Amino acid sequence: MLLPYLTSAFPGTGGALRRVPEDFVVDEVPAYAPSGAGDHVFVHVEKRGWTTAAVADALAAALGIAARDIGWAGLKDRHAVTRQWLSLPPPVTPEAARAVALDGVTILDAVRHGHKLRTGHLRGNRFTLRVRDATSDAAARAEAVLAALAAPPGAPAWYGEQRFGARGDNVAQGLAVLRGERRGGPPKLKRLLISAVQSSLFNAWLRARLDDGLYARVIEGDWLERRGSGGTFSTTAPEVDEARVAAGEVCVTGPMFGPRMRAPAPGTAAAAREAAVLAAAGVDVALFAAAGKLAEGTRRALGVPVADAAVRAVEPGVIEVSFTLPAGAYATAVMREVMKVDGDGPGAAPANAEAADAADADADADAAERAPDDGGEPAT
């Protein structure tokens, strides 16, 4: 699907992302620090050329423990420099963890804690990204775009290309699973494929909101999310809640279709818009119910808060852009707004942003084949 720009009034920087891994640096922002006491060991690792799951497997082999007993809060990409925490089970000691030597992996710290690290136990991620071959005034352009994205509800929460597979056929495969036309494969892979269908429908819903001038508006029947707590509620006073959206207190949410999703009340404007998305895709919402736990459904905020943004000119044609995003948000979705390398206003995602997103497919593949034992959608 061709995605529009929220910041089409601002010119982009041009350029390219991720020429080398050091151009894409990710620092996990944990939900809490290890306590210093307990049977488990939290290790802070810096990695290059490794997926999170591959690091876990290597640590398990080196320490003589089961890989399934290693926990992490979110999956991190292979083609970047990333720093994150993993948890190791007893009888591993901090000293043993620090002694592990892996090419491309540095153990930055090892601290005891009382329990395993679980998926989603993180506040977000801090990104430090270099754009090369940018325009001569790229720093000023990036600052203008990021200032616009700082206003609530933030950057559009598009699902990136990696959600739809390297060949772009995850949606078709997911529909085959939902319709009972594809029966093989592990449940985690089926869940990944079905999530591509849900994500594609969310993107279609979000695009319609932007196209119709409803990105920062609240309409009858909208479900809203409270920023911070994550609690959701159905609006009873759209005008009042629209002011709360502008203040950054709440955000409109879109559909990730499934039987457990909280749907707008029948007959409301919001319900009509969600039904139109399904109809345009030729998808019956009952298909998700038939998939059971593989497609339970939820709601997703339509915007992503972009916090603590900064821009630095490194040298002519090279800038460094940094910002913090909540877990599950794609940095490349922010950078496509900053760069706009296709040069045609609303249109396809920039070619190099798509390449960056495609590289992130490692994380989704790992989630399908080997997720932490607490389940759930992988956080990033």
Sign for the pseudo-dihedral over CA of 104, 108, 112, 116: negative
- The strand pairing partners of 113, in sequence order, are 40
Rounded CA separation 177/179 (Å): 5
Report helix, strand or coil for 73. Answer: coil
Give the type of residue at 120: G
102 DSSP assignment:
B
| HEC sequence for 226-281 | ECCCCCEEECCCHHHHHHHHHCCCEEEEEEECCCCCCCCCCCCHHHHHHHHHHHHH
Place of tokens 């409109």: 252
Cβ atoms < 10 Å from Cβ of 130: 22
Total length of the chain: 380
Q: Look up 27 and say whether it is catalytic.
A: no
Rounded CA separation 345/333 (Å): 15
The residue from 23, 27, 77, 366 that is catalytic is 77
The tokens describing 169, both together, are: 């056929």
Residues whose CB falls within 8 Å of the CB of residue 23, separated by 6 or more in sequence, listed in order: 17, 129, 130, 132
| Beta-strand relationship, 122-132 and 105-113 | unpaired
Cβ atoms < 10 Å from Cβ of 275: 14
Alpha helices in the chain (DSSP H): 52-63, 94-98, 138-149, 170-178, 187-211, 238-246, 269-281, 286-290, 331-339, 351-359, 361-369
Cα end-to-end span (Å), the chain: 23
Residue numbers annotated as active site: 77
